[in-house]
Structure 1
Amino acid sequence: MDGQRAGQRELRETQLGRILIYGLGRSGRGVARFLAAEGLQADWLDARPGPEDTALVADLGFGPGDLSRPYSTVVAAPGVPIDHPDLLALAARGAEILGEVALAARLRPNLPMIGITGTAGKGSTTVLVAHLLRVCGLAALEGGNIDPPLLDVVDRAEVAVVELSSFQLERVPGLRLPVAVITNLGIDHLDRHRTEAAYHAAKLNITAGQTADDVLIVPAGLQVQTRAKALAFSPDSLALADGRLILPTAHLPEGIHPANAAAALLAAEAMLLYLGRPVRPDLLAAALRSAQPVSGRFETVARLGNVRFIEDSIATRTLAVEAALLRATPPIAWLVGGRDKGADLVPLRAAAEGRVVRVIAFGEDGEKMARELGLPSETVAGEGGDEVLMNAARAGLAALQHTGGTVLLAPIGTSFDLFKDYRARGESFKQAARALTTQTAQPAEAQA
C-alpha cells in the first residue's frame, strides 16, 4: 500500500510540477488541505492572508511563494481576476493557471460531477440536486462556490454537485461535465468582467468541454451553442425529459422555487441515467416534497398574524430580486439597501407594480435606489447594522399592520456597508424579525 501511495504521489508530482497556491481564503485553504493529503508540497501567496490562512499553511509545512520561481501549476482563488498582473506574468513564464474545480477534475477524473451555474438560483439548485440524488440512493455531496469547497468533498462523494460562479468558470481548462445546468443568464459582476458579453462567455464555459454524450440543462427559450444534448426546463412543469409529470408545482414546499426544482429534476435524472441507475419517479416526487430551502434564500424567518417576514439577503442580482418580488405574497413592504452594485432597476419597477406598497430604504445607497425605483418609500437609520435592520423590519410591519402581507428583505445592494457579508445581514434581519414578532405578540400587560 505504501508503494502504491508513493507511486500515486510521483504521478501527481509529474502532472502538476512545482505548485503555487495564489490566494488563500475558503477556496485556497481547501486546495492546501487537498494537496497536503495527496502528499504534495506547494508554495502560497496572498496579499492579505488572515490568521486562519497563515495557521493552516504553517501547519501543513507550506512556505511563502516567490514570483521569480519557475512554477508549473498555479491554483488561483476565484476572487483573483483572470487578468491579474501576477497571473499574467506566471503564465508568460509557462505556468498553467487552474482553479480548484479544474484541479479536482484532473486529479479525480473518475468522479462524476454535475456543474451548475447561472445569474440567480444556482446555489439553491445545487443543494436541491444533491438532495434528489441522495434520496435516490447516491452518496451525492455539494460543494464549490457553495460551502464547502469542492476539494473538501471529492473523496467522500459518489457524485459531486458543484455550484460554479463566473469567477470559477474563467479557469476550468479541459473540464468536461457529463451533466451541466444553466439556471438563467442575466447581468452581474460587470466590475470584474467589464461587459455583459464577457460575463456570459465565462458562464458558458460550463459547456465548453461537453460532447454529444453529455447533457446541458437550460431554461426554455435560452439558446446556447453546445455540443451536448440540450434539455429545456420550465417553472410551470416538474417533468422528466420524456414529459412525464412528477409533481404539481403547487405541491412544492414553501421556499422551493419551481424553476430551480424543474432544473434540478432534469439534472438528477440525467446523472442517474449516466450512471446506469434506475429513474424512480416515486422517489423523485418524495424528494421534491421533502426538500428544504437553503438558509438565506427566500426563507420565511418569522410570522405575526397574517404578516410573513422573508429573508432573501443574497438577492442582489436583478433576476434574483425580481423572482423574490414575484413569489412574495402581496402586499409587500420591500426592504432595499446596502451598497449599490449597479443592478438594473427597470425590471424591478415592473415586478413591483401593484405588489409593493412601500419601500423601506436603509444603508449606504438605500435612499438613492428607492428614488430610482419611484415607489412610495421611507428611509430608516440606526447605530450599526443590527439597529438599522430592526428599524427596517419595524417599519415594514407598520406598513402592513392593517392589510397583512410580506415584509421582504431582497436588498439589491451588497452588504458591505454595514455587515461582513450577506449571511451576516440575513442573520441580523432574522433576529430582528423574530424579536419584533415576539415583542408584538406579547399581551400589553406583559410588555408594561
Structure 2
Amino acid sequence: MDGQRAGQAELGRILIYGLGRSGRGVARFLAAEGLQADWVDARPGPEDAALVADLGFGPGDLAGVYSTVVAAPGVPIDHPDLLALAARGAEIIGEVALAARLRPQLPMIGITGTAGKGSTTVLVAHLLRACGLAALEGGNIDPPLLDVVDRAEVAVVELSSFQLERVPGLRLPVAVITNLGIDHLDRHRTETAYHAAKLNITAGQSADDVLIVPAGLQVHTQAQLHAFSPDALTLADGRTLLPLTDLPEGVHPANAAAALLAAEAMLLHLGRPVDADVLAAALRSAQPVSGRFETVARIGNVRFIEDSIATRTLAVEAALLRAAPPIAWLVGGRDKGADLAPLRAAAQGRVVRIIAFGEDGEKMARELGLPFELVEGEGGDEVLLNAARAGLSALRELGQDTGGTVLLAPIGTSFDLFKDYKARGESFKQAAQVLAASAAQLAEARA
C-alpha cells in the first residue's frame, strides 16, 4: 500500500490524452483511486463524453503544465501535443506504466510479438487459472489492463508496439516475445524503430527475471533467456509435456510452447508448484481465440477457416502453412504494404486459387502472381458470401471429394468494407454457415 500511495503522489497533475477504450479504462481507474484528471480528445464519442462528465473530469489545457500525461496507444509518441507537454515537464506514460506504478505488488506477464501475442496471452492466463491462480488477461486485448488489476492475482498483458513506446520504468518478472517481423511502418517508419519498441518489453528486466523468445532470436537482455520451438512442448528443463498432436485444433504449437514456458516461469516466480500433469491437461483443453484461425464451418471435407486478423506477413504465412491444402485463399481489404514475398513462397503448391475482394484485393492478387478470381457485391456481407462461394467452387473443380480449405487470411485491413477485423470475420463466418446449411439441405433432399 505504501508503494501505491507513493505512486499516486508522484503522478501530480494528470492529463488523459485520448479517450476510447484505453482512455476510458484510465479514467475509471483514476477516479476509483480518488485522483483527479483533465482530458483531451479531438473527437470524443458519446460514451467517452458521458463517462468523463460522470466522473467529474474536465477538459484539459494543452498550454498548461502537467506532471503526468497518460496517452492512448493510438497517439503517436512524436505527436506535437505530446512533445509540447513533455517540453513543459510532463512525463508521457501509458496505461501499462500507470498500472505498474499504482499496483507495484501485482505480478505481470508481458507478451508481445508481430503475430500470435493475443492467442498466447489468452493461453497463458488459461494455464495459470488451471494451476489455481486468479489470472486475468488484458491490455491490448480486451479488457483494458486497468479494468482487471484489482481482480487478478496475476495480470497477463498483451503489449503492442504502440504501448511499449511508453512504459518507462516497467519491470516484468516474466516477458514473452512471440516473434519479430515487420509491421506498423506507417507509425514507426523503420523496421529498426518497430523492433526497438517491441524490445522495450525487456528493458527493465534484471537477472532475476525471465524473457521467453523463439529459438534463434538474438536479444540483448539482462534477464534469463528461455527459448521455445514450435516443434515441441517442453518445460524449461527440457522435459516434453505432451505431443503436439494432443493440442486442440486451432491452437498454434508455437503459441502453446511459449505459453507453457511463461506459465512455468510465473509459477516459479511466485513459489508455486509446477504440476506437469495439470499443465498438460490445461493445454489439451485450450480453446483457440475466436477470430484467429478458427474453423467456422465444414462442407464435406472442406473446412472454412476464419483468420480475419491475419494482416501481418507472419500471421498470413502461418495461416497458409497450417491450413490443409488445397487452399482457396481469400485476399482483400485495404493494402497496408505487407511484404508479399514470403507469402508467394508459402502459397506455392498449396493455394489453387486466390479469391480477391475489396478495395485492393485484385492488386494484391496480381502481385502474388497466382491464379485468381475477383468477386464483388453490394456491401461487405454480400462480397464475403460471394467470396466464400467462389472459394468452395474452386475446390470442387478439383473433384467432389478433394477436400481442402477456404481460408480468409486477407492481408489487407478491413476498413474498406467493415468497421474492423472482427466484423469482417463475423461476416465470413455467417457466409460459410449459410453455404453449409444450404449444402446440408441439398444433401437431405437428395437422400
* Shorter-chain TM-score range: over 0.9
Q: Percent identity?
A: 87
* Contact 2:7 2:101 (C-alpha < 8 Å) held by counterparts: no
Give the aligned partner of residue 324 of structure 1.
319
Query: CA separation in 2, counterparts of 1:86 and 1:58?
Result: 23
Aligned to 2:118: 123
Q: Which residue of 2 aligns with 1:431?
A: 430
Tell me the alpha carbon deviations over residues 338-380 of structure 1, each in whole angstroms, 9 at most, x when there is no partner.
0000000000000001000000000000000000000010000
Secondary structure of the structure 1 residue equivalent to 2:77: coil
Per-residue deviation, 1:441: 1.7
Q: 1:167 aligns with which of 162, 166, 172?
A: 162
Partner of 2:188: 193
Unmatched runs of 5 consecutive residues or more in structure 1:
none
CA–CA distance in 2 between the matches of 1:444 and 1:221?
A: 50
Cα pair 2:3 2:104 within 8 Å, conserved: no
The 5-angstrom pairing of residues 74-89 of structure 1 reads 74-89=69-84
1:388–1:235 CA distance, 2 compared to 1 (3 A): same
Alpha-carbon distance in 1 for matches of 2:410, 2:143: 25
Offset at residue 443 of structure 1 (A): 2.7
Q: Which residue of 1 aligns with 2:50?
A: 55
In 2, the alpha carbon distance for the partners of 1:13 and 1:318 equals 42
Give the C-alpha shift of residue 203 in structure 1.
Answer: 0.2
SS at match of 2:15: strand
1:223 CA displacement:
0.3
Moved more, 305-314 or 435-444: 435-444
Q: Which amino acid aligns with 2:429?
A: K
SS for the counterpart of 1:180 is strand
Answering whether residue 99 of structure 2 is matched by residue 104 of structure 1, we say yes
Cα contact 1:333–1:360 (8 A) shared by 2: yes
Aligned: 1:202 with 2:201: no
Q: Name the CA distance, whole Å, in 1 between partners of 2:403 and 2:239.
A: 38
Q: 1:406-445 CA distances to partner (integer Å, 9 max, x unpaired)? A: 0000000000000010000000000110011101221378
Out of 112, 119, 138, which is 1:143 matched to? 138
Contact 1:329 1:405 in 2 (8 A): yes
Q: In the alignment, does 2:289 pair up with 1:294?
A: yes
CA shift at 1:11, angstroms?
4.8
Match of 1:357 in 2: 352
Q: Specify the alignment match of 2:263 in structure 1.
A: 268
**Contact 2:4/2:103 (CA < 8 Å) preserved in 1?**
no
TM normalised by structure 2 equals 0.97
For the Cα contact (< 8 Å) 2:4–2:102, is it kept in 1?
no
Q: TM-score scaled to structure 1, two decimals?
A: 0.97
Q: Distance in 2 between matches of 1:59 and 1:386?
A: 38
Q: Which amino acid aligns with 1:333?
A: A
Is 1:341 the counterpart of 2:336? The answer is: yes
Alignment match, 1:414? 413
Partner of 1:91: 86
Instruction: Measure how far apart 1:154 and its partner are.
Output: 0.2
- The equivalent of 1:372 in structure 2 is 367
Look up the match of 1:313. Answer: 308
| SS of structure 2 residue aligned to 1:442 | helix
**Secondary structure at 1:203 match in 2:** helix
Distance in 2, matches of 1:258 and 1:183, equals 12
Residue aligned with 2:288, SS: coil
For 2:51 and 2:6, the matched residues in 1 are separated by 25
Deviation at 1:13, TM superposition (A): 4.6
The count of corresponding residues between Structure 1 and Structure 2 is 442
Report the Cα offset of residue 9 of structure 1: 8.9
User: Per the alignment, in what secondary structure is the counterpart of residue 176 of structure 2?
Assistant: strand
Contact 1:313-1:425 within 8 A present in 2 as well:
yes
Assess if the C-alpha contact under 8 Å between 1:124 and 1:294 holds in 2. Answer: yes
Aligned partners of 1:22 and 1:45 also within 8 Å: yes
Runs of 4 or more off by more than 4 Å in structure 1?
A: 7-13, 444-447
- Mean alpha-carbon deviation: is it higher for 7-16 or for 46-55? 7-16
The CA deviation at 1:300 is 0.4
Look up the equivalent residue of 1:29 and give its one-letter code. Answer: R
Structure 1 pair 442/251, CA: closer, same or farther in 2 (3 Å)?
same
**How do residues 173-252 of structure 1 correspond to structure 2 at under 5 angstroms?**
173-252=168-247
Counterpart code for 2:433: R
The whole-number CA distance in structure 2 between the counterparts of 1:326 and 1:434 is: 24
Residues 9 and 40, structure 1, Cα contact 8 Å, conserved in 2: no
- 1:26 matched to 2:21? The reply is yes
CA distance in 2, matches of 1:175, 1:422: 30
Residue 9 of structure 1 contacts residue 39 of structure 1 at CA under 8 Å; is this kept in 2?
Answer: no
Any idea what the Cα deviations from partners look like across 1:226-281, whole Å, max 9, x if unmatched? 00000000000100000001010111000000000000000000000000000000
The separation in 2 between residues aligned to 1:303 and 1:411, in whole angstroms, is 20
Structure 1: which amino acid aligns with 2:152?
A: A
Structure 1 Cα separation of the partners of residues 259 and 61 of structure 2: 44
Measured in 2, the distance between the counterparts of 1:68 and 1:418 equals 39
State the alpha-carbon separation in 1 of the partners of residues 106 and 403 from structure 2.
50
Secondary structure at 2:344 match in 1: helix
- The equivalent of 2:377 in structure 1 is 382
Residues 134 and 374 from structure 1, CA distance in 2 versus in 1: closer, same or farther, beyond 3 angstroms? same
Q: Indicate the RMSD between aligned Cα atoms, in angstroms.
A: 1.4
| SS of residue paired to 1:323 | helix
Q: Distance in 2 between matches of 1:122 and 1:247?
A: 22
Q: 1:50, 1:437 → 2: CA distance?
A: 39
